[in-house]
């Protein structure tokens, strides 16, 4: 979410998304609010510190980690106050282990993903931290049924061996897919709550996420371009996992308001029914029953809203809620 006022962000989320609110993240507040710094603050007995090159594992906690932990405490306090009495699903989110491993540096400045032992330590530490976080949220909002979103935007690059060395001229050795799958599966099984993986890259590893036990995958469908240009291979890959029961958090509403378009086109982009046309097209091309749309699909913003204005963020949340309701009211439209 945009801005620096977490109380206003929590109020907005609870007001605009009453059926599936979430604990907002406000990266505009600076270091420790970014996805990596915030995610690394969950690590138990693996302290991090912010270096000129990014977040790095260090021997003892410092000012940067204390700031990240303090910001999280403020966020949870705001949620506790304004979600009092709430019952229903509540989504919280954190950076996933492979995105952390691709971004957090070891003492020598190389990404942790370069060291299998370090990745195992990260996974174990993250699990402990997330379990504690889940327990804290349950205590603060006892009526909530928690859904955990693990953000893995870097996983496609990890699987393809595209993570750079510190010099930027080379790439790190990629892990075997079976190792990645095993680590994600263990994490999902031990967390004990429904897990949604979020990946805003164009080459989402749908199969890895589904086999790891995800109930759904969150992805930016606007990266695919207009539906008439969607690649058959991409549709088939997603369709196979949807057919196996995977849910889809479909990113269909852009965070930033488009500019320079004709007025008629702008009106169409703000229309909730038009927002879900790509999802309906996908369902039609796959030959799925249109009534299953409302059971498997959650409409969402295309990706994070941090770059939007506060007014635009509120408009987007209103639109995705209305778009989702069109799938329920008129699945064959």
Do 86 and 164 belong to one domain? yes
Asked whether residue 75 falls in the same domain as residue 49, the answer is yes
Report yes or no on 110 lying in a domain.
yes
188 with 255, same domain? no
113 and 5 co-located in one domain: yes
DSSP one-letter string for 222-287: GGG-SGGG--HHHHHHHHHHHHTT-EEEEEEE-SSPP-S--HHHHHHHT-HHHHTHHHHHHHHHHT
Distant-in-sequence, close-in-space partners of 233: CB < 8 Å, separation ≥ 6: none
Tokens representing 135 are 């327990």
Contact call for residues 92 and 22 (beta carbons, < 8 A): yes
Angstrom distances, CA of residue 117 to CA of 44, 101, 112, 201, 242? 16, 11, 9, 26, 34
Q: Are 215 and 194 in contact (CB under 8 A)?
A: yes
Shared domain for 31 and 177, answered yes or no, is yes
112: CB partners within 8 A, 6+ apart: 57, 100, 101, 102, 104, 105, 106, 118, 119, 122
| Alpha carbons 57 and 34: distance in angstroms, whole number | 16
Residues 41 and 76 in one domain: yes
Q: How many Cβ atoms from other residues are within 10 Å of residue 148's Cβ?
A: 22
In this structure, the answer to whether residues 53 and 177 fall within a common structural domain is yes
What number of other Cβ atoms are within 10 A of residue 109's Cβ? Answer: 12
Q: Are residues 41 and 115 in the same domain?
A: yes
- End-of-domain residue from the set 145, 169, 200: 200
Answer yes or no: is 150 within a domain.
Answer: yes
Is 209 inside a domain boundary?
no
Q: Determine the distance from the C-alpha atom of residue 160 to the mean position of all C-alpha atoms in its chain, rounded to a whole number.
A: 20
Q: Are the CB atoms for 131 and 189 separated by under 8 Å?
A: no
Q: How much is the pLDDT for 267? A: 65
| Residue whose pair of structure tokens reads 């106050």 in the numeric block | 81
Domain that holds residue 245: 215-333
Looking at the structure, do residues 244 and 188 belong to the same domain, yes or no?
no
The residue out of 141, 166, 200 marking a domain boundary is 200
Buried b (16+ CB within 10 A) or exposed e, 164-188: eeeeeeeebebbeeeebbebbebbb
Closest by Cα among 95, 121, 92 to 36: 95
Q: What is the pLDDT of residue 266?
A: 59
In a domain, 22, yes or no: yes
What is the structure's pLDDT at 262?
63
Q: At how many degrees (to 10) do helices 232-243 and 277-286 cross?
A: 80
- Could you say which of 200, 227, 256 is where a domain stops? 200
Residues 322 and 283 in one domain: yes
- Phi and psi at residue 252, to the nearest 5°: -125, -15
pLDDT value for 270: 73
Angle at 286 between CA 281 and CA 290, to 5 degrees: 65
pLDDT at res. 210:
98
Domain contains 208: no
Q: Which residues of the chain have pLDDT under 50?
A: none
Residues 13 and 39 in one domain: yes
Contact 98, 154 (CB under 8 A): yes
This prediction's pTM: 0.94
| Residue 207 domain-assigned (yes or no) | no
Say whether both 327 and 289 belong to one domain: yes
């Amino acid at each position: 979410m945009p801005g620096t006022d977490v109380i206003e962000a929590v109020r907005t989320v609870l007001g605009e998304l009453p059926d599936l609110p979430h604990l907002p993240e406000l990266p505009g507040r600076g270091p420790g609010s970014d996805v990596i710094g915030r995610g690394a603050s969950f690590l138990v007995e693996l302290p991090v510190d912010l270096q000129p090159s990014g977040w790095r594992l260090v021997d003892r906690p410092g000012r940067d980690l204390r700031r990240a932990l303090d910001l999280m405490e403020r966020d949870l306090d705001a949620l506790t106050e304004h979600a009092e009495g709430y019952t229903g699903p509540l989504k919280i989110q954190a950076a996933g282990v492979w995105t952390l491993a691709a971004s957090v540096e070891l003492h020598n400045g190389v990404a942790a993903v370069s060291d299998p032992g370090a990745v195992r330590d990260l996974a174990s530490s993250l699990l402990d931290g997330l379990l504690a976080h889940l327990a804290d949220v349950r205590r603060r909002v006892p009526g909530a049924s928690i859904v955990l979103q693990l953000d893995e935007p870097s996983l496609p690059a990890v699987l393809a061996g595209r993570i750079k060395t510190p010099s930027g001229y080379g790439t790190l050795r990629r892990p075997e897919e079976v190792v990645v799958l095993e680590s994600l599966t263990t994490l999902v099984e031990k967390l004990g709550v429904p897990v949604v993986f979020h990946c805003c890259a164009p080459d989402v590893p749908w199969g890895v996420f589904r086999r790891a036990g995800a109930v759904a995958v969150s992805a930016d469908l606007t990266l695919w371009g207009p539906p008439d240009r969607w690649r058959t291979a991409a549709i088939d890959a997603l369709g196979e996992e949807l057919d196996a029961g995977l849910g889809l958090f479909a990113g269909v509403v852009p965070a930033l308001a488009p500019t320079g378009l004709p007025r008629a086109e702008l009106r169409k982009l703000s229309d909730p029914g038009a927002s879900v046309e790509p999802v309906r097209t996908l369902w039609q091309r796959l030959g799925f029953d249109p009534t299953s749309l409302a059971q498997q699909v959650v409409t969402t913003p295309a990706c994070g809203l941090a770059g939007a204005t506060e007014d635009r963020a509120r408009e987007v949340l209103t639109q995705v809620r209305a778009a989702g309701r069109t799938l329920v009211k008129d699945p064959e439209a």
